[in-house]
Amino acid sequence: MRPINEAELKEIQLNIMNDIHLFCEANGLHYSLAYGSLLGAIRHKGFIPWDDDIDIIMPRKDYDQFLKLYSNHSKLYKVHSLETDPNYTYAFAKVSDPRTILVENVNVQNLGVNIDIFPLDNAFDSLEQCKKQVKKILPYKYLYRLKFLQPSPKNIFWKRILIKLGKIFVFPLSLRALAEKISTFAKSNTDSNSKYAVMIVGTDPKATERQIIERNWFDKYTTIPFEAYQFKAIERFDEYLTHEYGDYMTPPKKKTSPHTLNNVYWI
């Protein structure tokens, strides 16, 4: 196996993202760069220099249609979701390059270099109801996180012990069953006209309440530069990024990737 360096890793991700972009454009599907990818596009015109992934968000209707259609479209890339892959264990989708191996310090199947696709789900007109909604899902997300993580040398000693003890507690539970619980809960509200929407299927429980957003932020889209490409973003990206990060144009003092990549290879 030949190692993949950081520049190659990012180029593979850009190729996947461009394929998704062209597919969505051809099929009338909406998506937006999200999280650090949208932040990177606005602040750096591409990747945040110390980050190493791409995230996008799709309204649930577009997300479901994407999952149905993309598998038959791409001969090079593979879409993974609870709906399309019986071995998959995330509550959101990924599109991967199966010619690669990506080793992470987490308890999941190896999917290769990939990008994340998050659905935007229904919430309520009342912010208080939305807060109650996201709090109800927290127990499943904490259990999932505990099952998902592996002790790392980066963790201090007592934290490694706590993770190992916690894994004994969650041993009877499967990652897929927990992911299905989270996904089912996320899709349970059918009010597609509510004032607020939620993005609550990610793996970080601490970020859950920040995922309550105003639905109309996702009404209109624009095209913005990302490295050498042009990808889609919501027009009201300033409100979204301020909601997510506060003063997002000021880089943080701590510049490290939040992810757990160990080694990346061509098969």
Residue 229 · residue 19 · CB < 8 Å: no
Q: What is the reported pLDDT for 151?
A: 60
Residue 65 · residue 207 · CB < 8 Å: no
Any domain includes 267: no
Residues 6 or more apart whose CB falls under 8 angstroms from that of 210 comprise: 243, 244
Give the length of the chain.
267
Tokens describing residue 206: 């601490």
Q: What is the reported pLDDT for 172?
A: 80
Residue 53 · residue 31 · CB < 8 Å: no
- Of 11, 25, 28, 38, residue with least CA distance to 240: 38
Tokens describing residue 228: 């050498």
- Of 181, 182, 220, residue with least CA distance to 199: 182
Domain count, the chain: 1
Any domain includes 25: yes
Any domain includes 265: no
Cα distances (Å, whole numbers) of residue 101 to 87, 147, 181, 188, 267:
17, 22, 28, 35, 6
Q: What is the reported pLDDT for 153?
A: 59
Any domain includes 266: no
- Interatomic CA distance for residues 266 and 8, integer angstroms: 10
Residue 244, domain extent: 2-259
Q: What does pTM read for this prediction?
A: 0.91
- Helix axes 175-186 and 127-148, enclosed angle (nearest 10): 170
Residue-wise pLDDT for 135-184, tens only, equals: 999 999 989 988 877 666 566 765 667 766 767 777 788 999 999 999 99
Average confidence (pLDDT) over 19-38: 98
Could you say which DSSP state residue 28 is in? T
Backbone angles phi, psi at 260, to 5 degrees: -120, 40
- End-to-end CA separation in angstroms for the chain: 5
- Of 111, 89, 99, 72, residue with least CA distance to 179: 89
Q: What percent of the chain has pLDDT over 70?
A: 91
Could you say which DSSP state residue 129 is in? H
Tokens describing residue 6: 């950081």
Could you say which DSSP state residue 48 is in? -
- Of 177, 172, 167, residue with least CA distance to 89: 177
Q: What is the reported pLDDT for 140?
A: 92
Task: Report residue 242's pLDDT band, with 50, 70 and 90 as the boundaries.
Answer: very high
Q: What is the reported pLDDT for 258?
A: 59
DSSP helix/strand/coil, 223:
strand
Residue-wise pLDDT for 30-69, tens only, equals: 999 999 999 999 999 999 998 889 999 999 999 999 999 9
